[in-house]
């Protein structure tokens, strides 16, 4: 029989007291701790005047991919924090000085002379000179860098230095989008470029120095005390926090753990619209455009009347409202309103007209066709595909949805093995129009995912690209011709221009993006 100890005579034992004491001490310790829920620090001061100090936290849905440092990708927040570009566009697409103080394009458009700042230091302490611009252009000419503007960089055939701070670039032919390149091309430190490409060391001339990266978690930056822009930046540092789950990212913003994000889904942004804690800014430059791609060698879709029927069948308004939360602009063309190629008549060419779609199918001698339809398998793109599937069914086009993961889709796009239809988004329409047609693969006149080729299209694109100017009436007439080909051929059926939307906490001021989505925090600060 087990021995049973006698029960305690006292009602409140020492053990009970000890337990209570430990629990109380634990609670007091937690209460006295810093709170991770409000680690976002801000200096004291009023909202009207910029204040120095504080660490800004930016929430990103995807992690930084070092190998895409020199390309436009899903996360381009890092580029303009650590690096500078030669020029930057204003709202009217006019270049403004950055590392280049002035520029002169030769009358025939075959050379550009740049005058450079002479007071710029890399984070390593080395002085920035014309050699760094030469290196940056050659860096983008390297196909391994996968730069979308490689064809523009490749048009630079020679470099002529005039001292350390003046440089003439010789071009193979006039290039209308040369300033797109100057806005796109970050100036890396030649000594550490391979380490930058591997994500271990980022050295540039930008407002913040790279301090640490925890893959999948965060990237941190500190103020560059020797930045060439006097008094800038205001912030002590920046942290980019990676939050892949859309709901968690939204919660992170609502709790103040994250100050700023460009990765909030449209339907989530809609829920924050009336909340005074947030300021929502839509960039009309567009993050890209949603489209249906058509493989013109595929059965049925080889007939352009079928592709036009699809364009008439889609209810773009419903798509923008239901799938994008209203954050997008209905459009039949790829151009955002800020583009010199934009025209309201062209953007509104295809409206929701199922009857017209049925008529075109009838003219093509087709009724009740079935087409394979690939889409990215993430929830947002799946919702878009389902909406499109419904619309096409209403006019007699059955589609078989093919959810595909991103790497597989990219491989199919590049290897031109897409099915009859697919839906995705494309970029590069927010710049000079020639850039879209020579740099964005869906539109590339030489080779594209749709297998579309036409001597007329090639001729117009090449003419637009090889012009010495980009804004003259002649240039605009060429852009309209490109638009007309796109609207007629419909190998890329544009649906809506996606708005790049900034959601900022009420304390954040002065954050901006360039045309490539590079985050510029030179003038950013946190109010009290």
Partner 1 sequence: MRTFLLKRLPSGLLVLLLASFLVFLILRLIPGDPATTLAGPDAGPQAVAAIRAQLGLDEPLVGQYLTWIGNLLSGDLGPSYAIGGQVSDLIGNGIAATVQLTLGALLLVVLLALPLGVLGATARRRPVAAAVHAFTTAVLAVPPFVTGVLLVLLFAVTLGLLPAGGHESFLDAPDLALQYLLMPAVCLALPSAAVLARYLKDGIERALAEDYVRTATAVGVSRRRIVWLHALPNALPSAVTVLGLQVGHLVAGAVLVERIFAWPGLGQLIEQGVIRRDYPVVQDLLLLIVAVYVAVQLLTDLAYAWLDPRIRWE
- Residue 447 interacts with partner 1 (CB under 8 A)? yes
Q: Which residues in 171-200 contact partner 1 (CB under 8 A)? A: 198-200
Which residue number, 288 or 325, has a Cβ lying nearer to partner 1? 288
Residue whose CB is less far from partner 1, 20 or 163: 20
**Which of 75, 87, 218, 220 contacts partner 1 by CB under 8 A?**
218
Helix (H, G, I), strand (E, B) or coil at 40: coil
CA distance 304 to 74: 32
Phi and psi angles of residue 345, each rounded to the nearest 5 degrees, phi first: -65, -45
Q: Write down the least CB distance from residue 429 to partner 1, Å.
A: 12
Q: Measured between alpha carbons, how far is residue 213 from residues 72, 201, 218, 261, 495 in Å?
A: 20, 9, 6, 18, 38
440 binds partner 1 (CB under 8 A): yes
**Minimum CB distance to partner 1 smaller for 268 or for 391:** 268
Encoded one letter per residue, x for contact with partner 1 by CB under 8 A and - for no contact, window 458-477 reads --------------------
H or E element that contains 58? strand 55-60
- Given the complex with partner 1, which of 64 and 83 has the nearer CB atom? 64
102-110, 326-334, 359-367, 437-445 -> range binding partner 1 (CB under 8 A): 437-445
Out of 21, 231, 244, 379, the residue judged to bind partner 1 by CB under 8 A: 244
Nearer CB in complex with partner 1: 97/256: 256
Contact by Cβ (8 Å): 112, 106: yes
381 binds partner 1 (CB under 8 A): no
Between 44 and 144, CB nearer to partner 1: 144
Q: Which two tokens stand for residue 134?
A: 């030469």
How many Å from the N-terminal Cα to the C-terminal Cα in the chain? 71
Answer yes or no: are the C-beta atoms of 197 and 66 closer than 8 Å.
yes
Measured distance CA(308)–CA(363) in Å, rounded: 12
Query: Does 444 contact partner 1 by CB under 8 A?
Result: yes
**Which of 213, 265, 375, 507 is the binder for partner 1 (CB under 8 A)?**
213
Distance of closest approach, residue 439 Cβ to partner 1, in angstroms? 6
- Interface of this chain with partner 1, residues 71 to 90, rule: CB under 8 A: 71-73
Q: Which one, 143 or 368, has the nearer CB to partner 1?
A: 143
Indicate whether 441 belongs to the interface with partner 1 (CB under 8 A): yes
254 belongs to the binding site for partner 1 (CB under 8 A): yes
CB of 526 to partner 1, least distance (A): 18
Q: Does 263 bind partner 1 (CB under 8 A)?
A: no
Give Dmax over CA atoms of the chain in angstroms. 108
Strands 260-261 and 492-505: what pairing? antiparallel
Question: Are 132 and 490 a contacting pair, CB within 8 Å?
Answer: no
Q: Which of 142, 162, 277, 367 binds partner 1 (CB under 8 A)?
A: 142
What contacts 72, CB < 8 A, 6 or more positions away? 148, 184, 427, 428, 516, 517
Query: Which CB, 137 or 369, lies closer to partner 1?
Result: 137
Q: Which residues of 287-313 are buried (b: 16+ CB within 10 A; e: fewer)?
A: bbbbbbbbbbebebbebbbbbbbbbbb
Question: Rule CB under 8 A: is residue 439 a binding residue for partner 1?
Answer: yes
Of 14-73, which residues contact partner 1 (CB under 8 A)? 30, 33-39, 63-68, 71-73
Residue among 222, 226, 325, 218 at smallest CA distance from 268: 325
Q: How many residues bind partner 1 (CB under 8 A)?
A: 70
Residues near 24 by beta carbon (within 8 Å), at least 6 away in sequence: none
Rounded Cα distance, 491 and 421, in Å: 10
Which residues have C-beta within 8 Å of that of residue 8, sequence separation ≥ 6?
Answer: none
Per CB under 8 A, which of residues 388..427 are in contact with partner 1? 405-415, 424, 426-427
Q: Output 242 or 519, the one with its CB closest to partner 1.
A: 242
Closest CA to 106 of 472, 469, 528: 469
Among 84, 176, 252, 329, binds partner 1 (CB under 8 A): 252
Q: Both tokens of residue 41?
A: 């620090």
Minimum distance, C-beta of residue 59 to partner 1, in the bound complex (Å): 9
**DSSP H/E element including 144:** none
How far from the centroid of its chain's Cα atoms is residue 233's Cα? 23
Contacts to partner 1 from residues 223-242, by CB under 8 A:
241-242
Is residue 451 close enough to count as binding partner 1 by CB under 8 A? no
Query: Toward partner 1, which CB reaches closer, 4 or 46?
Result: 4
| 170 forms part of the interface with partner 1 (CB under 8 A) | no
Cα angle vertex 379, ends 373, 383, to 5°? 55
What 3-state class would DSSP assign to 258? coil
Task: Kindly tell me which of 448 and 527 has the beta carbon lying closer to partner 1.
Answer: 448
Tokens of 235: 């912030």
Residues forming the site for partner 1 (CB under 8 A): 1-2, 4-5, 7, 30, 33-39, 63-68, 71-73, 142-144, 146, 148, 150, 198-200, 213-218, 241-245, 247-248, 251-252, 254-257, 405-415, 424, 426-428, 439-441, 444, 447
């Amino acid at each position: 029989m087990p021995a049973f100890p006698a029960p305690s005579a006292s009602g409140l034992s020492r053990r009970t007291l000890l337990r209570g004491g430990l629990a109380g001490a634990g609670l007091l310790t937690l209460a006295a701790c810093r709170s991770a829920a409000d680690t976002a620090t801000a200096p004291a001061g009023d909202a009207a005047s910029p204040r120095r100090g504080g660490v800004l936290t930016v929430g990103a849905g995807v992690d930084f991919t070092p190998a895409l440092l020199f390309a436009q990708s899903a996360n381009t927040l890092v580029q303009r924090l650590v690096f500078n570009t030669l020029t930057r566009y204003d709202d009217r697409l006019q270049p403004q000085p950055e590392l280049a103080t002035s520029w002169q394009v030769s009358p025939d458009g075959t050379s550009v002379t740049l005058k450079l700042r002479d007071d710029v230091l890399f984070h390593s302490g080395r002085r920035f000179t014309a050699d760094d611009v030469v290196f940056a252009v050659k860096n983008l000419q390297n196909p391994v860098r996968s730069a979308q503007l490689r064809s523009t960089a490749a048009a630079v055939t020679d470099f002529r230095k005039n001292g350390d701070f003046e440089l003439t670039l010789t071009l193979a032919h006039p290039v209308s989008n040369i300033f797109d390149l100057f806005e796109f091309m970050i100036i890396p430190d030649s000594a550490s470029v391979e380490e930058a490409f591997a994500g271990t060391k980022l050295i540039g001339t930008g407002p913040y120095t790279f301090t640490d990266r925890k893959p999948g978690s965060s990237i941190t930056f500190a103020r560059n005390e020797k930045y060439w822009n006097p008094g800038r930046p205001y912030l002590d540092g920046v942290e980019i926090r990676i939050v892949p789950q859309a709901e968690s990212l939204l919660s992170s913003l609502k709790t103040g753990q994250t100050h700023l994000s460009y990765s909030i889904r449209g339907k989530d942004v809609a829920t924050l619209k009336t909340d005074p804690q947030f300021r929502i800014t839509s960039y009309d430059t567009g993050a890209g455009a949603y489209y249906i791609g058509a493989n013109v060698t595929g059965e049925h879709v080889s007939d352009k009347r079928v592709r036009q029927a699809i364009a008439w069948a889609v209810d773009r308004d419903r798509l923008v409202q239901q799938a994008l939360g209203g954050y997008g602009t209905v459009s039949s063309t790829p151009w955002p309103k800020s583009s010199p190629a934009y025209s309201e008549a062209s953007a509104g060419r295809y409206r929701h007209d199922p009857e017209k779609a049925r008529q075109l199918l009838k003219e093509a001698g087709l009724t009740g066709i079935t087409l394979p339809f690939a889409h990215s398998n993430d929830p947002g793109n799946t919702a878009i595909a389902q909406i499109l599937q419904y619309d096409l069914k209403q006019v007699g086009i059955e589609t078989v949805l093919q959810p595909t993961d991103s790497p597989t889709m990219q491989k199919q796009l590049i290897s031109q093995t897409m099915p009859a239809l697919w839906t995705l988004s494309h970029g590069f329409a927010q710049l000079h129009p020639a850039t879209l047609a020579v740099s964005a693969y869906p539109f590339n006149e030489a080779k594209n995912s749709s297998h579309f080729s036409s001597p007329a299209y090639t001729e117009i694109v090449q003419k637009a690209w090889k012009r010495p100017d980009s804004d003259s009436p002649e240039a605009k007439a060429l852009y309209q011709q490109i638009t007309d080909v796109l609207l007629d051929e419909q190998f890329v059926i544009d649906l809506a221009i996606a708005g790049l939307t900034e959601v900022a906490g009420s304390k954040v001021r002065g954050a901006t993006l360039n045309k490539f989505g590079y985050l510029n925090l030179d003038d950013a600060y946190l109010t009290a």
